[in-house]
Amino acid sequence: MTSVLTIILQRLGLGLVTLFVVSIVIFTAVNLLPGDFAEAILGQGATPEAVASIRRDLGLDQSPIVRYFQWLGNMVTGDLGTSFAQLNFQTNLGGGDLVGVAEQIAPRFANTMFLAGVTAAIAVPFAVGLGILAALFRNSAFDRATNITTLSSISSPEFFLAYILILFLAVLNPVLPSLSNIFQGMSFGERLEKTLLPALTLTLVVTAHMMRMTRAAIINLLASPYIEMARLKGISPMRVIVRHALPNALAPIINVIALNLAYLITGVVVVEVVFVYPGIGQLFVDSVKIRDIPVVQACCLIFAAAYILLNLTADILSILSNPRLRHPK
């Protein structure tokens, strides 16, 4: 067990290093965005004096390296900073009562997690189940149909899938709301109903990957001697797959599931905008539009951390599910 702990700690350390590298990339990329907050917020009023005064107030006139280390330093101490839009009007409020980026993001992030959770609850059993069935009836019409459908849904852009679903489930047969404006104080049932369309869209996007990996991993094992043994014992094909093949195919499946879960958190931007779902993705888009760099950077960092963490989990789970890795010689 100690070796597992060591591995986990090692991986966490590596994750932190990755996050540090990512922070440099994020900072550089965000600073490469053309235009800045001062110009975005002033619009037509962007006279050189007004732009310079806002830049001075927000510290944008300092060198990028100074700004990077300030940001990094604050980030390490858990301070995500304050959005420019808030800072810009700080003097109106006499300097008090500012909402930090962390507080701004928290409710949005919770919403995104809810959407990811609902999607995962639908997509994972659905994809794994489909994968098992496809493996069971491999090369049948069912297998082909599943493959074609899931592959075409993963190949279509998300907004297209979203509009197709809206057309069929909200316009032609109004069963689900096309607007996912969830808010605090909504009952769980209502919230679920409003979240269903974006969740279904995301399900269509992530199913193919998981389903095909499940199918491939299982089929791969079906040629193994122990499966033949099980078949010779006279066990039903379904039981052979679920009881004998699946546990040994778990490692790659878990890996793919974790990757797709990470996608559910980081890849929701477009879907959230289409459905007006108040998650972190929409906040991200709004903030990029006005070049509100502290919010953009914090969102990016959260996306990166989610990706790294879920990959880490995938690695650890695949180690735990594999006795050979669990007890290395």
Partner 1 sequence: MTRISRRGLLKTGAAAGVLAASGLPVRAQAKRGGRLRAGLSGANTSDSWDSRTHSDLFMIASAQGAVFDSLTEVKADGSLGGELATDWEASADAKTWTFNLRQGVTFHNGKAFGADDVIASLQMHVEEGAKSAAQPIVAAITEMKKMGEHQVQLTLEAGNADFPYLLSDYHILMFPAGQIDEAIQNGIGTGMYKVSSFEPGVRMVATRVDSHYKDGDAGWFDEIEYIAINDNTARMNALMTGQVDAINRIDFKTEALLRANPMIRIQEVTGNQQYTFPMLTNVAPFDDVNVRRALKFAINRQEMVDKILLGHGRVGNDTPIGPANQFFFENMEQTSYDPDKAKFYLKEAGLDSLDIDLSASNAAFEGAVDAAQLYQASAKQAGININVVQEPADGYWSNVWLKKPFCACYWSGRATEDWMFATAYEEGVPWNDTQWGREDSERFQDLLLEGRAELDTDKRREIYHEMQQILKDDGGVVLPMFANYVQAVANKVANPDVVGNLWQMDNGRMAERWWMS
Phi-psi region of 115 (alpha: psi -120 to 50; beta: other; left: phi over 0): alpha
Among 80, 204, 283, 302, binds partner 1 (CB under 8 A): 283
Q: Binding string, 244-273, against partner 1, x = CB under 8 A?
A: -----------------------------x
Among 20, 160, 183, 226, binds partner 1 (CB under 8 A): 183
Q: Binding string, 80-119, against partner 1, x = CB under 8 A?
A: ---x-xx-xx-xxxx-xx------x--x------------
Among 61, 276, 326, 327, binds partner 1 (CB under 8 A): 276
CB of 79 to partner 1, least distance (A): 18
CA distances (Å), 271 to each of 108, 155, 175, 178, 209, in order? 14, 15, 19, 12, 18
177 binds partner 1 (CB under 8 A): yes
Q: Which residues contact 328 (CB under 8 A, 6 or more apart)?
A: 3
Spatial separation of the C-alpha atoms in residues 24 and 17, rounded to whole Å = 11
CB of 195 to partner 1, least distance (A): 14
CB of 84 to partner 1, least distance (A): 8
Spatial separation of the C-alpha atoms in residues 45 and 310, rounded to whole Å = 45
Stretch that binds partner 1, among 116-124, 132-140, 183-191, 225-233 (CB under 8 A): 183-191
Closest CA to 206 of 270, 122, 292: 122
Is residue 164 a contact partner of residue 205, using CB atoms and an 8 Å limit?
no
Q: Binding string, 20-39, against partner 1, x = CB under 8 A?
A: --------------xx---x
Among 198, 292, 303, 304, binds partner 1 (CB under 8 A): 292
287 binds partner 1 (CB under 8 A): yes
Burial 49-81 (b: 16+ CB within 10 A, else e): eebeebbeebebeeeeeebbeebeeebeeeebb
Stretch that binds partner 1, among 70-78, 251-259, 278-286, 321-329 (CB under 8 A): 278-286
- The residue (of 133 and 299) whose beta carbon lies closer to partner 1 is 299
Give the other-Cβ count within 10 Å of 231's Cβ.
14
- The residue (of 44 and 155) whose beta carbon lies closer to partner 1 is 44
Give the other-Cβ count within 10 Å of 237's Cβ.
13
Q: Which residue stretches of the chain are H helix?
A: 2-32, 37-42, 48-58, 64-76, 84-88, 101-136, 141-155, 158-166, 188-222, 225-232, 237-239, 246-266, 269-275, 280-289, 293-320, 323-326
Query: What is the DSSP track for 282-306?
Result: HHHHHHHHTT-HHHHHHHHHHHHHH
- The residue (of 78 and 94) whose beta carbon lies closer to partner 1 is 94
CB of 101 to partner 1, least distance (A): 10
Size of the site for partner 1 (CB under 8 A): 46
CB of 283 to partner 1, least distance (A): 6
290 binds partner 1 (CB under 8 A): yes
Is residue 133 a contact partner of residue 214, using CB atoms and an 8 Å limit?
no
Name the residues that contact partner 1, by CB under 8 A. 34-35, 39, 42-48, 51, 83, 85-86, 88-89, 91-94, 96-97, 104, 107, 166, 170-171, 174, 177-179, 181, 183-185, 273-276, 278, 283, 286-287, 290, 292, 295
